[in-house]
Amino acid sequence: MIQIELLEQHIAELDDASFSKLRDWLIEFDQSRWDKKLKDDSNAGKLDFLINAALAEHEAGLTKDL
């Protein structure tokens, strides 16, 4: 049995409280990984195209004040 299948089996055997705790941890862990990836991509300039597109729209008068 491969590692992921073992994890799936163990998770399926968890009681409700343990499963809930694991789920909450996984959500927080996933969000942390996403935040790190976004920060790393931003620092590497991979998101600059979004900034440039927004600035171009604003300079073209295509935006409105909130």
The two counts, helices (H) then strands (E), for the chain are 3, 0
Question: Phi/psi of residue 34, each to 5°?
Answer: -60, -45
pLDDT of the chain along its 66 residues, tens only?
699 999 999 999 999 999 999 999 999 999 999 999 999 999 999 999 999 999 999 999 999 998
Residue type, 15: D
* Structure tokens, 52: 């440039």
Q: pTM of the full predicted structure?
A: 0.71
